[in-house]
Structure 1
Amino acid sequence: MSHVEHSSGQQDTGRQEAEQVELTDKGKRTIWTWASVIAVGGFLFGYDTGVISGALLFIKTDFHLSSTEQGAVVSLLLLGAMVGALGEGRVADSLGRRKVLALVGVIFLIGTAIAVFATGYVMLLVGRVVLGLAVGSASALVPTYLGELAPAQVRGRVLTLNQLMITIGIMVAYLVNLAFSSVQSWRGMFAVGAIPAIVILLGALIMIPESPAWLLTNDHTDKAQKVYRRIAGDEDGGQQLLEARQQEMEEEQHKSGEKVGWRGLFNKAVRPALVVGVVLAALQQFGGINTIIYYAPTIMQKTGLTASNSIYYAVAVGVINLLMTIVSLWVVGRMGRRKLLLISMSVMLVALAVMGLSFVASWGSVLSLVFMVLYIAGFAVGMGPLFWVLIGEIFPPNASATGSGAATAVNWASNLIVSQVFLTVVTTIGLGQTFWCFAVICVFALFFIGKYVPETKDRDFPEIDEDMQHRFGREAAPQEAESPSSS
C-alpha cells in the first residue's frame, strides 16, 4: 500500500469513528441550539442587505437623494463588507471564533445606531459602512464556525442553516419594510436589526462555546474535550469525537502541505480553478440578482404603484427566494452542479428578457412581478447557492482558503459595482433595457458554464481537477498543485 493510500485509509477510519458516535438527544439539542445562535449572523447578513430596499423609498425623499446618491447608500455597505470579509480570517484565527462573533454583534449595533440616528446623508453613509464591516465578517465567519463546531454526522445539515437564515433575513426585512411603510419610517426599519444583533452578542457571551477545532489548533485540548463531551452527550462519545477530529486535522494538514498564498493562485495548476471561481463570482452579481434584492420596491414603483404597495409586492420576491433556496438544498445533491447551473441560468435569461419587455411595453405591475418572481426562482435554485458550493470544491486543498477568499472578494466587488451603477444606468437607458443588458450577461454565463465549469458531484479533487484542466486545454498535473512539502 502506498503512503497516500495509507493516509487516505487513516482519514477514512477517523471519519468512520466520528460517524459511529451516537449523539444523545440532549447532545443533538445542544448542537442545534448553538448552531441556531451562530446562524443568526447569516440572518443579519440577509436582513441588512434586504432592508435597504424598502428604506430607500423614504430615505431618498427625506434627504433629497439623486440616483447616484441612492446607489451609494446601497453600495457603501458592500464596500465595508469587502473589508470585513478580507480581514475576518486573520482576526478569527488570532482571537477565536466566539470572540469575533460577539464583536460582529457589537459592530452591528454600532452601525444600526448610526444609521437610525443619522441626521444627514454623510452620517447615513458612515452607518452603512459600519454595517458592511459586520455583514462581511459574518459572511466569512458563520460557515467556518458552523463547520468546525458540528460533528461529521450532522455537519451537512447544520451548514444549510446559514443559507436558510440569509434568505429568511431578506424575507423578514421585506416584512418589516411593509410594517413600517404605513408610517414611512425608514429609521424603524433599520432599528429592528438591533434585535438579532443583541441575540448574537448575548449568545456569544453566555450560550455558545469556542470552536473545538480552533481550541485544538491553539493547544487547548482539555477545553475542546469538554465541548465535544457536551456535543456527544457523554464522556466516551466526546473522547471519540475529539480523537477523530485530531486525526482528521492531521491528515488534512499532511494532504494540503504548505498553504498557497495569493501569488500561488496564478500557478499553472491552480489557474483554471481561479478563473472558474472569480468568473462565477462576477457572473452571480452581474446577472442582476442584487438589483432585485436591493431595489425591488423601487422597480415596482416604476409601474405606478405606491411605496406601500411596492413593498407589498416585494414581499413575494422574498418568499419565493426562501422557498426556492429550500428546493435547491434538496435537488443539488441529486441533479449535479453543472446541469442545475445551466437550468438556473436559462430560467434567469428568459425571465430577464421578458421582464425587460414588460417594462418597455408597459404591461403593468402584475406581469412585471410574475417575471421578477420567475427570475428569483431561477437564481435561488441554482446560481445563488451553487457558487458557494463550487468555490469550496474546485481549488486544491493547499489553495482552498486563499482561492475561496479571492472568489468571495470578487463577488463583493461585483456586487458593489452593480448596485452603485444600477439606478444611474436605468436613468440613462431605461429599466427594461437595463434588464436586457443583464440578459446578455446570462448568455455569456451559459457559454462559460457549458465550456469551463466541471461537474463536482460525487467526485474527489483529482477527478474534478482532471476535468477542469481538460476543459482549459491542459493535461492535469497533480504534482504542480502540490507543494514540495506534500510529496
Structure 2
Amino acid sequence: MNTEQNRNVKTPRVVYLITATAVLGGFLFGYDTAVISGTIGALDQFFIQPQNFESTIGNWWLGFTVSAALIGCIVGAMSGGIISLKLGRRKAMMLSSVLFFISALGSAMPELGIDSIGSGNHTIWIPFILYRIVGGIGVGLASMLAPMYISEIVPANVRGRLVSWNQFAIVIGIFISFLVNYQIGQIGDASWQLSKGWRFMFGAEAIPAILYFSLLFTVPESPRWLVLKGQEKKAASVMCKILQEGDMAFQLKEIKNSFGTTSPKLLSFGCRVLFIGGALAVFQQFIGINVVLYYAPEIFKSIGVKGDQALFQSVVVGLTNMLFTIVAIKNVDRFGRKPLMLIGAIGMGGAMICLGASFFLNSNGIFALVFMLMFVASFAMSWGPVTWVLIAEIFPNSIRGRAMSIATAAMWISNFMVSQTFPVLDKHQVLIAKFNHGFAYWVYGAIALLSFAFIWKFVPETKGKTLEEMEGFWKKDRS
C-alpha cells in the first residue's frame, strides 16, 4: 500500500489507548524536570546558605543543585539505546517508571535510611542530589523511549500527531507540577515551606509513577523491535491490532527489508542524519526554554513579584505551554514539520530579545510576563513537540535506538549547560550592572534566530512518510 493510501486508513482505537499509556512517561518527564522550580528558594536556604559559600560559588552550587537531575538525564539518554535494544521498549519504560518512584520518595526524604524522616539538615545535601540524579536517569530514558516507541507502533498518517502527544503529556506534567507547587505553597508559612513544603512537592510524583508502571503491562512491545529480534509472528500479531490486514503485510515486509539489507553500523547512512538529529536537540535547549521552566518563579521574584504570586505566574506559564502545544498537535500532520519550526524560531527569537530588553530597561513586570508567555507559546507550537517528532522520524530502523540515544543525550547535555550557567549569567554583578538581568535572554534570542537558518537549510520534511521511506531518503542522500 502506498503512502497516500495509508493516509486514508482509519486508525484503530487501540492505537490511541497505547499512545495514551506510553505518554505517561512524558508526563513524569515534565513533572520531574519542572517540580524543581517551586523549590529553588527553599533548597537555597536549606542546603546552600548554611554552607557559607562565597556569593559566586554559592550561585554555582545552587545551579548545580537545580540541574543535578540533568546528569542522570544524560546517563539515561546515553544508555537508553542499549537498554531498549536488550530489554525491549516496554521493559525499558517500566525501568524508567521504577526510577521515577525511587527518586520521588528519596528527593522528598533524602535522610531515608540515615536519620529519622524530616529531621535532616544541609548535611543530607549529597543524598538529595543522588536521588535527583536517579530521577534524571528515569527522565533520560523516558525522553527517548516514549517518542521512539510511539513512532514505531503507530501508522504514518497519524504519527506526527501521536508523537506530539508525548510533548503534550510533558507540558501537562510541567503544568501540574506548577499547580501542585502553588497549592502546596498556600498550605503553610515560609518556615513550613523551608522544612516540609519542598518535600511534598517532590513526593507527589510517586503517584503517577505507580500508575505508569501498572499501565505498561497492558501495552504491546514495538513490532519493529520484535522483527529486529526475529520474533516475526509476535510482530505480526501486534500489527494486526493496529493496522488493516493488507497494510500489515506490506509494512511488515518493509520492516524486514530494512533490517535485512542495512548494515547495523551507526554511520551506515552517513554523518548528516546524525548531525541533524543532534543539532535539533541542541538548538531546542540553547534557545533557553528550560531557563523559563526551571527558574520562572525566581525570574518573577527578580522583578519584584512576591513568592506566592511568582508561583501563580508560573502556573500561567505552564498553562500557556499546554494550550499552545495543542496548536502543534492539530497542525503538525496538516502543515508539516518545517513550517511550524520556522514560524516558532522567529517567534522565540523576537520574544527573547524583547524579554531581555524589558529587564534592561527595568520595565514594569507585566512586560516580562507578556514576553515570557510569547516565548513559551512560540516554543510550544513548534520546537517543543515537533523536535521530538523529527528526532523520532528521521533515523532509519537499524540505527534508531542508538541514534536517538545520541540525540537525546546531546539535548540533556545542552540542557545541563544552560541550566548550570543561567544563575551565573543572571546574577553576575558586572552583567547586572551593565544589562540589568537582560544579557542571558539576548543570547538565547540570537540562538533562536540562528535555529531558523538551520531548519531552512538542513532539515528534511517528514510529513506523511513511513519510517522505511525516510530510510530510503537517507540512502539516496548519501549516494
> Shared fold (TM-score greater than 0.5)?
yes
Alignment of 1:73 onto 2:78: no
Deviation at 1:157, TM superposition (A): 4.2
Cα distance, 1:312–1:218 mapped onto 2, change above 3 Å: same
1:204 to 195, 211, 216: 216
1:36-65 superposed Cα distances (whole Å, 9 cap, x missing partner): 222111100111011111122222122235
Amino acid at match of 1:36: A
Comparing 83-92 with 143-152, greater Cα deviation is found at 143-152
* Rounded Cα–Cα distance in structure 2 between residues aligned with 1:462 and 1:202: 35
Normalising to structure 2: TM-score of the pair?
Answer: 0.82
1:339-392 superposed Cα distances (whole Å, 9 cap, x missing partner): 433322222122112211212222122111001001111112222233233334
Cα distance, 1:271–1:149 mapped onto 2, change above 3 Å: closer
Amino acid at match of 2:221: E
* Rounded Cα–Cα distance in structure 2 between residues aligned with 1:436 and 1:81: 27
* Rounded Cα–Cα distance in structure 2 between residues aligned with 1:440 and 1:103: 39
1:104 to 90, 96, 108: 96
Cα distance, 1:229–1:387 mapped onto 2, change above 3 Å: closer
* Rounded Cα–Cα distance in structure 2 between residues aligned with 1:16 and 1:452: 28
Query: 1:284–1:387: 8 Å Cα contact kept in structure 2?
Result: yes
Amino acid at match of 1:141: L
* Rounded Cα–Cα distance in structure 1 between residues aligned with 2:416 and 2:298: 18
Query: How many residues are treated as equivalent by the alignment?
Result: 442
Cα distance, 1:228–1:278 mapped onto 2, change above 3 Å: closer
1:230-281 superposed Cα distances (whole Å, 9 cap, x missing partner): 657xxxx6x6676445323223225x611232xx27xxx7333343333332
Structure 1 segment 296-311 matched on structure 2, within 5 A:
296-311=296-311
Query: 1:270–1:395: 8 Å Cα contact kept in structure 2?
Result: no
Deviation at 1:72, TM superposition (A): 1.2
2:163 to 139, 159, 163: 159
Deviation at 1:89, TM superposition (A): 2.2
Deviation at 1:176, TM superposition (A): 0.7
Alignment of 1:95 onto 2:87: yes
Deviation at 1:464, TM superposition (A): 6.5
Deviation at 1:455, TM superposition (A): 4.8
Correspondence for 2:31: 47
* Rounded Cα–Cα distance in structure 2 between residues aligned with 1:115 and 1:156: 35
* Rounded Cα–Cα distance in structure 1 between residues aligned with 2:205 and 2:333: 34
Query: 2:395–2:471: 8 Å Cα contact kept in structure 1?
Result: no
1:79-115 superposed Cα distances (whole Å, 9 cap, x missing partner): 1111111212222222223322222221111111110
* Rounded Cα–Cα distance in structure 2 between residues aligned with 1:333 and 1:356: 34
Q: Once the two structures are aligned, what percentage of the paired residues are identical?
A: 35
Correspondence for 1:435: 441
SS at match of 1:391: helix
Comparing 323-332 with 445-454, greater Cα deviation is found at 445-454
Amino acid at match of 2:282: A
Structure 1 segment 360-371 matched on structure 2, within 5 A:
360-371=360-371
After superposition, the CA RMSD in angstroms is 3.1
1:84 to 76, 79, 88: 76
* Rounded Cα–Cα distance in structure 1 between residues aligned with 2:370 and 2:253: 52
Deviation at 1:224, TM superposition (A): 4.7
Amino acid at match of 1:436: W
Cα distance, 1:144–1:332 mapped onto 2, change above 3 Å: closer
Comparing 164-173 with 397-406, greater Cα deviation is found at 397-406
Deviation at 1:336, TM superposition (A): 4.2
Structure 1 segment 8-407 matched on structure 2, within 5 A:
12=2, 28=13, 30-65=14-49, 66-118=58-110, 119=120, 120-151=124-155, 155-182=159-186, 183=188, 184=193, 185-205=197-217, 207-221=218-232, 223-224=234-235, 227=238, 243-254=249-260, 257-261=262-266, 264=267, 270-392=270-392, 394=394, 400-407=400-407
1:415-465 superposed Cα distances (whole Å, 9 cap, x missing partner): 110101110111112321221222232343344444444555567659976
Cα distance, 1:391–1:149 mapped onto 2, change above 3 Å: closer
Query: 1:151–1:241: 8 Å Cα contact kept in structure 2?
Result: no
Cα distance, 1:162–1:455 mapped onto 2, change above 3 Å: closer
Query: 2:160–2:389: 8 Å Cα contact kept in structure 1?
Result: no
- Point out where structure 1 has 5 or more consecutive residues left out of the alignment: 1-10, 466-476, 482-487
* Rounded Cα–Cα distance in structure 2 between residues aligned with 1:307 and 1:339: 39
Query: 1:171–1:318: 8 Å Cα contact kept in structure 2?
Result: yes
SS at match of 1:362: coil
* Rounded Cα–Cα distance in structure 2 between residues aligned with 1:177 and 1:432: 27
* Rounded Cα–Cα distance in structure 2 between residues aligned with 1:322 and 1:55: 22
Amino acid at match of 1:312: F
* Rounded Cα–Cα distance in structure 2 between residues aligned with 1:443 and 1:150: 33
Comparing 101-110 with 218-227, greater Cα deviation is found at 218-227
Query: 1:456–1:464: 8 Å Cα contact kept in structure 2?
Result: no
Normalising to structure 1: TM-score of the pair?
Answer: 0.81
Query: 1:171–1:315: 8 Å Cα contact kept in structure 2?
Result: yes
Query: 1:19–1:152: 8 Å Cα contact kept in structure 2?
Result: no
Query: 1:394–1:464: 8 Å Cα contact kept in structure 2?
Result: no
* Rounded Cα–Cα distance in structure 2 between residues aligned with 1:229 and 1:105: 28
- Point out where structure 2 has 5 or more consecutive residues left out of the alignment: 50-57, 111-119
Amino acid at match of 1:194: A
Cα distance, 1:462–1:215 mapped onto 2, change above 3 Å: closer
Amino acid at match of 1:382: S
SS at match of 2:23: helix
Deviation at 1:197, TM superposition (A): 0.3
Cα distance, 1:141–1:443 mapped onto 2, change above 3 Å: closer
